[in-house]
């Protein structure tokens, strides 16, 4: 059974015309702002995020730095020993 205009199953012809006349928005709110305003907003957001950071104390910073330097020194020594061993093994194998 075909219903008249206004049926639940078939939309009105006026609704289809009204929808086709609407232009889609490009970019939302960002499209309205210029590049300098967007850049300023970006930097304001960076500063706001940096204020949320829990910064380490001087004691924590020195202890973390010491641990990192110690670990790097151990890794350098380990790689040096492995390189030295592989160098001698290659000289032994290939003469």
CB-based contacts of 12, cutoff 8 Å, min separation 6: 5, 6
Tokens, residue 59: 């004691």
Spell out the domain ranges in the chain.
Answer: 56-94
* pLDDT tens by residue, 11-65: 555 655 555 566 666 655 555 778 899 999 999 999 999 999 999 999 999 999 9
pTM score of the predicted model: 0.49
Rounded to an integer, what distance in angstroms lies between the CA atom of residue 13 and that of residue 4? 11
Rounded to an integer, what distance in angstroms lies between the CA atom of residue 47 and that of residue 64? 25
């Amino acid at each position: 059974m075909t219903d008249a205009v206004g049926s639940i199953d078939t939309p009105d012809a006026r609704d289809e015309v009204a929808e086709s006349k609407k232009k889609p928005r490009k970019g939302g709110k960002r499209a309205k702002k210029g590049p300098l305003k967007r850049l300023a907003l970006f930097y304001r957001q960076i500063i706001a995020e940096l204020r949320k950071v829990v910064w380490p104390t001087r004691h924590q910073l020195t202890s973390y730095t010491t641990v990192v330097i110690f670990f790097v020194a151990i890794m350098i020594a380990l790689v040096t020993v492995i390189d030295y061993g592989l160098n001698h093994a290659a000289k032994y194998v290939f003469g």
